[in-house]
Structure 1
Amino acid sequence: MSTRDDRGTTSFPPNLEQYLVKEPESFAVNLARAVEEAGKVASSWLAAHERGELHSSTANPFADIVKTLSNLTEYWMKDPSRALEAQTRLFSAYLEVWSNSIQRLSQPEIGEVAKPEKGDKRFQDPEWANNAFFDFLKQAYLVTSRWANELVEHADLDDHTRHKAQFYVGQISHAISPSNFLLTNPELLRETMASNGENLVRGMRMLAEDFQAGGGDLKIRHTEPTHFEIGKHLALTPGKVVARNELAEILQYEPATDTVLKRPLLICPPWINKFYILDLNPQKSFIRWAVEQGHTVFVISWVNPDERHGTKCWEAYIREGLQFALDTIEEETDETEVNAIGYCVGGTLLAAALALFAKEGEERIKSVTFFTTQVDFTHAGDLKVFVDEDQIEALERAMSGKGYLDGTRMAMAFNMLRAGDLIWPYVVNNYLRGKAPLPFDLLFWNSDATRMGAANHSYYLRNCYLNNNLSAGRMELAGKKLSLSDVTIPIYNLAARDDHIAPARSVFEGSKCFGGQMTYVLAGSGHIAGVINPPSALKYQFWTSSASLADFDEWVANAHETAGSWWPHWQNWISGLDERHVPARTPLANGKASLGDAPGEYVMVRA
């Protein structure tokens, strides 16, 4: 309640004062400036639509959301008693929250009806608990989102529809959180009043810039892009581009030891994002570390595809990528025996290539290591939400014009897998608080999106996520039906415990498909940090076991935990396969002309 002193000045309680406008004129001016910047957002979006760029390069995701949630709604509404019961549960929860909030005004020691989950960072500000208004908003939101999740859990839906409904309800729950809105987030409201709305001007300016950077789509900035430059701050391991075609560059790195393992090491990275995740900086670089362990390291750097690459299929990526790299290695080193590594979808391609090579008598790869690679997509996680016949057909129509999928669309799909970490905290920080994100090399790499060639992407989605053809022995390449059981070379199969892209269980099930000696290793953390974990960091752990690969839960229960990085364990495994050493090899020792220094040209092309 406000009061007036002897001079007639109105004063407010301290807890209310912080939410009031301090300088009305400045606040009004800043609101007008913020609206002006927001107009630039609308202009960027409208201009892209008028040019037809958004319609031709992306498929509409909202149609599937509406269809899925309509199926969920239909289940509850077709039985009036069931619908009434669900509504009653929600209204009862609201009444309980309301009653609790009233009691807490006079008895603050009373506990809350609904508390955030452990680790939920959205409601850390003390006002979410101490202020009755914000406390009520928080609890009402929590009971609503949990009620919505229960609707999905108890609905009679097929597995795929249920999975999609759970995912979409989770996305909506994240989006409507009171922490995401100016008037319902105490921290945002305080900052806005304290700065007289200057934060909104900065935020809308960044929002306009990010829409422009995305060509009319929102490209959320996770770090300041001007802080990093490839070849100057990232991808610094010395090497040369020793070969190039229209699909790939082959990089060979300078040796760091007097002798090296006789077998060169070929790394096949994913074409989704770029290879320098394995060479972020000298402290975190797997490539540099492998060179220092005595490997002659070659890496495929995939082209960032455009209209010219729309018809490049999986066989092209095998012939013009993997086999081109093997030919280059043989030309550079005179070696016909190679150790290979495949990361994520690069590993899936490598697995299919090995099955094809087995049919064709191509035997140069003598061991293979997979980093968080799926070959069996039964348990492929939330990415399967985006894959069914209707969605793939829509995507194929969208790609048919330009011959590729824009990198922004792919990046947003991956961000949605971790919306609570990669979308909404940045929306709040960047566009409402008006604060630029901190420099972070990993998030710079994450935002350095690549386009997806139409034929390549369609083949991958249909043969892996939709029909699971590779693990079932139905995948066809070069006129041959492939079987992973034909791959009999030793395999080191690394999964990550908290991986949301290639779940550990999915990688485990894929281990059963191969015909050779299998070493399954489970690393701590997720899809990136679980792989990029140098020994010097002294972080995380990994698990190994001599148990059979019959059951994932049983394997985990019997696994032995080792603190720190799995890298030395892998080095012992791979050097134990062939310990022969030869004098260190320098790139282009055969006299060929250099095509440039690592990291090359292809990695520089931005989507």
Structure 2
Amino acid sequence: MATLPLTLEPMPERAARLATLTSGTHSPRGIGPGHAQSGCRGEGRPHPMLSRDALDRAAHAGVAALTGGLSPASVALAFMDWALHMAVAPGRMLELSTEAVLASTQIAQGAMRECVDRPKHGHVPEDPRFTDDAWTTWPFHAYRDGFLRLQHWWESASTAIPGVERHHEELVRFLVRQWLDACSPSNFVATNPEVQRAAWSSGGTSFVTGALHWLADLRDLVHGRSDDEHAYPSEWLPGKQVAITPGKVIWRNELCELLQYAPTTPTVAKEPILIVPSWIMKYYILDLQPHDSLIRYLVDAGYTVYTISWRNPREAFRDVGLEAYLQEGILAALAQVRERDAQPVHVVGYCLGGTLLAIAAAALFRDGRGDEVKTMTLLAAQTDFTEPGELGLFIDASELAALDALMWRQGYLDGSQMSAAFQLLKARDLIWSRMMSEYLLGRRSQPNDLIAWNADTTRLPYRMHSEYLTSLFLNNDLAEGHYCVDGRPVALSDIEAPMFVVGTERDHVSPWRSVYKLHLLTHNELTFLLTAGGHNAGIVSQPGHPDRYYRCATRAAGEPYRGRQEFLSANEPVDGSWWPKWNQWLRDHSGGEVVGREIANSLEDAPGTYVFER
């Protein structure tokens, strides 16, 4: 593995210097008083080591460590709000009671009838837990139908209660769903025909194998492994099987590396592409194997491609904030690209990288430097956070106080803590279905490049993540014009460069309806594309990928707003990957071609050094 150049300072000194970039700027409680007159929020941030503040944070951190970062107060308030309003809604209670009696009667009648006649049950629900044909036979279809009716009743009971705060209603519905998913008949040997069939056909060895899987996972959980001890799956090693598009590290600072990829075509587009990935993921989600690498696709399509590889921070980076990621990350990398190519740049941001890129672009146009940006592409990136989807369930003042205290004690948010929250959002697939497959059926999930990348988790600096969650998620400062760069607020409406914005249909991290709200915040030319898939799989959607389609429409500069339902109604799905559509859009917004050049003055080969930090 390549080593860092000797010219870099030791990490504590570098982190301290980065932290100075954020002193007096945006923070979890806003920026300093001197900036309040410019339209920025806040009254300054108390020093975390003040005795009273430290004591409070220590208490919060102790509770948060026991609850995995969840706030018991937030959960209790949600259920209290729901229960008290239900208690004063006799009409709603009568309606739910009637539904419960009718559902129970229908379940009992159906079970008795099927017990006598034993016909084949023809209807198979769409729920993937019950797609096996064995679920249509007695008595398993009775378990299934009873559970689905109970699930439907509880979903109804947790909604439409007059007076309940919307956030509390959504949290109750989410927590009830977690409980129901845990009680599904697919999770138990006695009520799952697939498990019983596997045990019978294997002579019971499926149980033995599943028990060994459980013991191995329990051993890892109890003993744990440090980041340094964690090993990559040998078949998915960055630089060997993934992240292998030929390129060089051309620049590095304390926070990130800048990679440039070698051209594969005689000529390339005049303007280069700079990709800004999210710092909650390793950049090579966009450079997996050659067949599903978006970076390789762009290189082969005739572009000069650069990407940022973020550092995986440790405790020494605890006071590094969003301003450092903006100034020493995106803007510093953009300056390096401009120095090499002397052209405006097609900038591309993915997830949180797209959010920060939008802030950077707004600051550039505000300061009269908009000519540095040729176009801007945002991949599954939110700029308005009033509808963040189920991720918003973990974002309220109480939840953030618990999470902030936990991160303050550690100095960062650990990747495993972050992934636990994402697993809860899709617990049915990522927890219960996996446990059923591995422990009851004895089948280990076969890793692929995307799964291996997902396991390659990152950490987030305490200050940066607190700022992001509070300023953007909780306060929605960017959309409301309160977010400041260099002490002055930025507005997305200042951006005049053409935009290409991608949302994905099943995104739990950046719901497409939230991504679509950028139409309300800008007036420039904006092409919006909605593709099949989720937050990761929808973006890694190479040509030839099965079951892929997209919808696409362009709003010309100054055109009236079209709603989300109008977008769906007016644009029929187009089969295939969205990559060629984007490639054509980039070509249409490029200024011709130039001769491709070899990479000069590099530090080392891609994928560099920071990608290996665990």
The residue type paired with residue 300 of structure 2 is E
Alignment of 1:558-577 (within 5 A): 558-577=570-589
- State the match for 2:160 in structure 1: 154
Contact 1:58 1:405 in 2 (8 A): no
Residue aligning to 2:86: 76
Matches within 5 A, 1:534-553: 534-537=542-545, 539-546=547-554, 548-553=560-565
Q: For residues 212-243 of structure 1, what are the alpha-carbon distances to aligned partners after superposition, in whole Å with 9 as ceiling and x for unaligned?
A: 55577899xxxx94442222111110111111
Aligned partner of residue 434 in structure 1, secondary structure: coil
Matched, 1:580 2:592: yes
Q: Residue type of the partner of 1:103? A: R
Q: Distance in 1 between matches of 2:391 and 2:502?
A: 20
- Shift of residue 250, structure 1, vs aligned partner: 0.7
Once the two structures are superposed, residues 437-461 of structure 1 have per-residue CA deviations (whole angstroms, 9 ceiling, x without a partner) of 1132212222222222211111111
Matching residue of 1:186: 193
Please report how far the alpha carbon of residue 65 of structure 1 lies from its aligned counterpart in structure 2 after TM superposition.
Answer: 3.7
The separation in 2 between residues aligned to 1:187 and 1:491, in whole angstroms, is 49
SS for the counterpart of 1:449 is: coil
AA aligned opposite 1:489: A
Deviation at 1:557, TM superposition (A): 1.3
Report if aligned partners of 2:195, 2:440 keep a CA contact under 8 Å in 1.
Answer: yes
> Following the alignment from structure 2 to structure 1, what is the Cα–Cα distance between the partners of residues 335 and 409?
34
Find out whether 1:93 has 2:99 as its counterpart: no
Contact 1:266–1:298 under 8 Å retained in 2: yes
| Percent of pairs with identical residues | 35
- Offset at 1:307? 0.6
Determine which of 254, 267, 271 is the counterpart of 2:262: 254
Q: 1:39: which partner in 2?
A: none
**1:396 Cα deviation after fit:** 0.1
- Tell me, in whole angstroms, the C-alpha distance in 2 between the residues paired with 1:225 and 1:70: 46
Provide the residue aligned with 1:528 in structure 2: 536
Distance in 2 between residues matched to 1:214 and 1:459, nearest whole Å: 31
Quick one: distance in 2 between partners of 1:365 and 1:122?
Answer: 48
Does structure 1 residue 330 correspond to structure 2 residue 316?
A: no
- Aligned partner of 1:351 among 358, 362, 377: 358
CA contact (8 A) 1:57 1:398 kept: no
Q: TM-score normalised to the size of structure 1?
A: 0.83
Match of 1:235, SS? coil
Give, in whole Å, the separation in 1 of the partners of 2:76 and 2:274: 45
Deviation at 1:160, TM superposition (A): 1.1
2:611 alignment partner in structure 1: 603
Aligned runs of 1:166-245 on 2, under 5 Å? 166-192=173-199, 198-211=205-218, 213=220, 225-245=233-253
Identify the residue that residue 118 of structure 2 maps to in structure 1. 108
- Mapped to 2, the partners of 1:304 and 1:272 lie a distance apart of 9
Letter in 2 for 1:159: R
> Are the aligned partners of 2:73 and 2:398 in contact in 1 as well (CA < 8 Å)?
no
- Work out which structure has the larger RCO, using CA pairs closer than 8 Å and 6 or more positions apart in sequence: 2
Report how far residue 407 of structure 1 moved: 0.7
- In structure 2, the residue matched to 1:138 is 144
Q: TM-score, normalised by structure 2?
A: 0.82
Q: Which residue identity lines up with residue 325 of structure 1 in the other structure? A: A
Matched-pair contact (CA < 8 Å) for 1:369–1:492: yes
Structure with greater Cα Rg: 1
Q: Conserved in 1, the CA contact under 8 Å of 2:350 and 2:380?
A: yes
* TM-superposition CA deviations, 1:374-408 (whole Å, max 9, x none): 10122221111110000001000000012111111
What is the alpha-carbon distance in structure 1 between the residues aligned to residue 257 and residue 221 of structure 2?
27
Aligned pairs, how many? 542
RMSD: 2.8
Task: Choose from 486, 491, 502 the match for 1:494.
Answer: 502
Which deviates more from structure 2 when the two are superposed, residues 246-255 or residues 52-61? 52-61
Task: Tell me whether 1:291 sits opposite 2:303 in the alignment.
Answer: no
Cα 1:571–1:445 shift into 2, 3 Å? same
Question: Aligned partners of 2:86 and 2:476: how far apart in 1?
Answer: 32
Q: Is the alpha carbon distance of 1:190 and 1:522 closer, same or farther for their aligned partners in structure 2, counting shifts above 3 Å?
A: closer
Match of 2:390 in 1: 382
Pairwise mapping of residues 398-437 of structure 1 onto structure 2 (< 5 A)?
398-437=406-445
Unaligned runs of 5+ in 2: 1-61, 227-231
Q: Which stretch shows the higher mean deviation, 258-267 or 528-537?
A: 528-537
Deviation at 1:525, TM superposition (A): 2.7
